[in-house]
Every structure is written in C-alpha cells, then in structure tokens.
Amino acid sequence: MTHEAKAKELLDSLNGKHGILGGVLINNDGAVISSSLPPEMDVSTLGSLCATLFSNNDISIQRMNRGNLLQMTLLTDQGILHFYLVPGHILVVLTAKGQKINLEGLISSVEQQGVAMTQVFS
C-alpha cells in the first residue's frame, strides 16, 4: 500500500468521529497528499491556506520563545479546524457545522491518527 493510500485510510477512519466532517493531509508547502473531505470542498485552496496559517502561527510561537507549534485548534462559526504536525506534513481535520463537539475526544482521535501517519511517513 502506498503512503498516500495509507494516509487516505487513516483519514477515512476519522470521518464521523466526534463530529468530524473530514480531513486533509498536506505537505509544508500546502500541496494536498490525501483528503477525506467532501468532493464539493476546494481542498487545494484549503491546503495552501492551512499551510500558511500553521506556518505563520509557528513563527509567532517561536518569536514568543514558546518552542515549536505542534497542534493548533481554531473554533469558527462554521466548526472546528484542528491541525496536527506530522513530520514534513500537516494533518488538518474539520468538524461539521452545528455539531456538539467533545474537544478532548476530537484532539485525542486526531493525535492517534497523527502518530500513525508519522510512522507511515518516517
């Protein structure tokens, strides 16, 4: 099984858990490696914007002498975006709008899949 196929399998296993709509694995430049998001979503634009968001926040965290950014959660009026650093990649998971979310469960599930993806891409 290819790295991309394994990543897709891991992303698909998150869908529906804790209100998760889907996820996307991008490289640090924002190119999409794999996605489990609905087909109507523009994943290439989402990937590039998410890479920029993560990178800019990582730089800010470093300038505050708080180390390197490993995870980030953004709450919006459309749902939650949770980012998880996988070496050379960023895993981004989106929740569906209007879902009641167990944030601890969401973060834990994403972290488990992020660890599995780290093993795939190491």
In the structure, what pLDDT confidence band is assigned to residue 122 with cuts at 50, 70 and 90? confident
Report how far residue 63's alpha carbon sits from residue 58's, in angstroms, rounded to the nearest whole number: 9
Q: What percent of the chain has pLDDT over 90?
A: 88
Our count of domains for the chain comes to 1
Q: What is the pTM of this model?
A: 0.94
CATH number of domain containing 109:
3.30.450.30
Of 4, 5, 25, 19, the residue nearest 91 (C-alpha): 25
Q: Give pLDDT tens digits for 62-120.
A: 999 999 999 999 999 999 999 999 999 999 999 999 888 999 999 999 999 999 999 98
Task: Identify whether the C-beta of residue 13 lies closer than 8 Å to the C-beta of residue 22.
Answer: no
The whole-number pLDDT of residue 54 equals 98
Query: By residue range, what is the domain housing residue 75?
Result: 3-121
The answer to whether 108 touches 93, Cβ cutoff 8 Å, is: no
Q: Which helix (H) or strand (E) holds 116?
A: helix 103-121
The answer to whether 49 touches 90, Cβ cutoff 8 Å, is: no
